[in-house]
Structure 1
Amino acid sequence: MADKIARVLLVEDDEDDYILTSDYLRQLDSHQFEIDWVTTPTKALEQLSLGKHDICLLDYQLGAYNGLTVLEKASKNGCSIPIIMLTGQSDDTLDQSALAAGAVDYLVKGEITTSRFARAIRYALARQEIENERLERINAETRNQSKDRFLAHLSHELRTPLTSILGYTEILLNDNKAPNAKAELNIILNNGRHLLGLLNNVLDLSKIAVGKLEHNIEAIPLDSFIADIFSLMKVHACEKALELVLHANTPLPLSIQTDAVRLRQVLINLIHNGIKFTEQGQVILMISIVIVNNKEMLSFTVSDTGQGIPKSMLATIFKPFEQVEDIISRKEQGAGLGLSICSELVKHMGGTIEVTSELNSGSQFTFSIDPGDITTQPRTIITFDQQHSSNAKLALPQLQGRVLVVDDMDDIRLLIGHNCQSFGLTVSYASNGLQALEQCKLADSQDASFDLILMDIHMPELDGKRAIKALRKLAFNKPIIAITAATMKGVKQELMAIGFNLIVPKPIDKAELYRGLASYLNLKEQSTCSHVDAIKDNNSAEPQQRIMVVEDDNDAADITVLLLESLGAKAVKANSAKQCQALLSTEKNWSKILLDLHLPDADGLALARTIQHAYPEVELILVSGATVAEQSLEQAGITQAILKPVNRDILQNLLTKL
């Protein structure tokens, strides 16, 4: 008996032919056939409209009607079931008419005992299986798109109020406006960040499921990195009168290469869980170097003296939506996503995670990550000193210019404006796209046009997408930065395509906002001069070197330009090889060009060879995420190569190098 089951609609008004055809169908060994028999065109169309059959065998002559009528009406109604036309005699003209009307094949009834009949049935069913797979794929994609739209909406609705909560709390802390309430403000800030973390967990789980989770490997100083996390989590431990302990069992490297955001996410999640499920005692974080498959790995162990985990749950604890408190108690709340995400993040960082636990005695989570090549890193027993506070006031060079802040929410509009004013900018406000257009027209009439616009996307009356199109039609060619809580994949590309120069996500990070503004606005002359003089005195940097940064990643280009200018250089960015060559042809006296290895329209090495031939006096420096062979660098005329991420010390060495 065949394993595959196929449901057949047999449209035949002659009972003898029905019996004969049915018998031969049941003799075929490719499928097990379930046959539904109808005798009229009307009933045939009714059955075809239900879409429950895998194939239809349609007699050409149905009393006073012919099967072509059924074929034509079925095709018009969108029927996707493969239909084979059956007739009593061979007729080439009829054959062509049947195929033209939508039949997949045409058979003479006398052929049903031949291999051609079996082959026609097999091909038609294979075609239907392919069609079913295609429809299922479309349905799955539609479901995924619906989920993405929901998550984008959820992200927007939650990030918008978090923008105000986190932003205004940081203002109060940084400006020392409430010196007697710093402890309370830090609690608000930490819990606001925790809420943001829960939101990110939901979004991360969705990205993990479809393989779209992004990672950013960078060099991080291990001591201050761990100290920041320890300081943050100590607040939560103190609230429950618990002791939070930190141990380093072995000398550790001063710097490692990993995804700082994801490592922080895993550590905070595990320590927070330890605190949450411990009523008395302590939570301990131990760090050491271990050897796994002849490679040095960085190992973290978070142990607690809490309620423990039942043995029955240990096998599923890293699966989504599994919650210990569902079985033990409902005292603590959670989404049940944290450990699942931790497991996936650890895998992406090249390691593994495991758990041991005993009920009422505590739990121990141990995970390892790949710290990069640490063979040449100096090592010491790290004291985990905080070199800087996460709430420290940002000392940023002042900017100059007039900006328009457009947002329909009063508190967020004022928050963005307050940050812009703290950067030295003159700020005007609009609560929707229509007001923004009116403000721009008024400013132009007074010869006081805006140098930049910060615009929310979701607003009443006229949203950001339509507003930017209207502004561009008014010949407003200055930068427009999108402020949006929608961070799902594809949003950035869509906004850039309709004319936005940059996208800053909500909740707004003050430093990120500053970097975005600084990439388009000038520093105040007085501030710039004093800053440059200090740099020249302290660091002996060459004054006003002209440097081009060729990098297709806007964020990376912006921060590199900002760092170079803070060191006294004049820096300009280009996002492609084409822009680079245009700048070379229109502006002279370049000191250095920092070339990204991978550009959208050229290979960095190939572009370097072109520049060396036309501008041999310009020093070329390659910026890459991987090591490039010395021979390739020499052939391209590149004097040196630096590995990403680029930091201030690296750039200072470039400027002072003779």
Structure 2
Amino acid sequence: MPFSNKLDQPHMVVRVLLIDDDEDDYIITEDILDDIPYRNYELDWVSNFDDAISIINHGVHDVYIVDYLLGAKSGLDLIIEALKDSKHKPFILLTGQGDVRVDEKAMTVGASDYLVKGQMTPQQLERAIRHSILHSRHLNHISELNEKLEQRVQDRTRQLDKAIKTLQRSNEDLELQISERKKAEEELLKSQAIYKIIAHNFPYGIIAVLDENLKYLFADGTGFKELELDAHKIIGAQFFQFLRKNDPSKAKEYDARFELAKSVIDSGEEQIFDFDYKDLNYSVIVVPIKNSRKQTKQVLVVMLNITQQRKAESEIKKSLQKERELSELKSRFVSMASHEFRTPLSTIMSSVSLISRYTSEEYHEKRNKHIKRIKSSVNNLTQILNDFLSISKLEEGKSLVHKSTIKVDNFIEGLCDEMSPVKKQGQKIIIKHTGDMLIKTDSQILKNIIINLLSNAIKYSGHGSKIWVDSCIDEKNLLITIKDEGMGIPEKDQVHLFDRFFRAENAMNIQGTGLGLNIVNKYLEMLHGKISFESIEDKGTTFSITIPKKIILDEKDTTHRG
């Protein structure tokens, strides 16, 4: 505990070390300390110089009482040795009576107080101990303050030296910068005159010069009007600032482009990037402008409106894609047709050959059987050709929407009658209609949709099965469902059902092109309709189509559909 705290609290023990080669002096000193009221002292004793120095260095005592006479060395020598570490310690020197010179010398070498041996009273000793402890504390405190002050002076001196050197360098740099700025300003004026001439004759965009913070120093060109920018207000503004404000939905995109432009200042390498503003497309090139010290302090920005080029590229890509699709369609059709045509043609050839032999009346039944086979094969060939012609027209945009009013119940009954010759033995088509009767739509397109779905229901259903055709006209739509009891569609194949040329796994041995449902889907798009289905393998399939009563025709509906 610090000395000051022990003096403030009388019950605390003050540890005292007596350094004296006479044991009697120890006993006398202990008696005197015991007579001091309101204080608690603990006295230790050491009789020789070296041991005393060792104990003092441990710093466990609060005050030291030193006899002037210590054998070969004196108490003054001990005080001098103990104070070599620069930290003051409370020493009280015991001297002989009337030896003033020793007393003065003791105070000079560092003793805090002195007492005359043999004349000490409890009051004198208590005062000397208290005075020595306080005096030592004050000296140490002053020493610490002096050290701190000296350190602060040294720190401030170093800081001042550093500041002076920095100021000198700054002055040198400033003079150099002033000189370079003057040259740069002269070059800038020349450059701006050139930029202005170029920008005025730049037809599709803006030419600008930005500083190292990407703020506009110069900007001109015809693109200001397109970008809704004010050429007079843009000087001093930051790159993309006004675009970000005018179109906040693309703030992140503009921030990313800003960072790309900023990287030119850091790297000195040009950057090329695109950005979109509302319905406009721009290509931007950012080029570093380096000063005489090869530093990039400015950049040249050229913004080119490429909206028309983008549109042209898009149209070209669409045309190329359509060409690829048509080419693929034709290639796949040739491959498919070569296979699909072979079977019905072979059937026709064999049946014709056999009919020529069945000339008499007794072969009437066999002739009818082969005539029926010929008709079925011709129907298959017709279906293949119809599918191809339909999808070809749709892809080439030659199918148009022509609206007319039809009576739905009669229309569907007529289509079902038309399909009667291709029904399998015992198959029955059940027709039901509810709601209004009349609707205005494209009758040929609607016929193609229903015939295709009805043909599939007949083809993929067995002998003696039933097919339900339900129709309904409500306030908004024409609804038609065609349900069969056929083989159904495997669940894993259902996701691809409307893909071109796709055939379900369980239908591979049944003739077909794989184009029918794809054509139905495209026809429904022309009428703004939708199709959905439910199917369970070996139990049947239900197709549902929805066609709005009011078809909104635009320019594409009358000139280019598909």
Could you tell me the TM-score, scaled by structure 1's length?
0.32
Could you tell me the TM-score, scaled by structure 2's length?
0.37
Q: Compare the two structures and name the one with the higher helix fraction.
A: 2
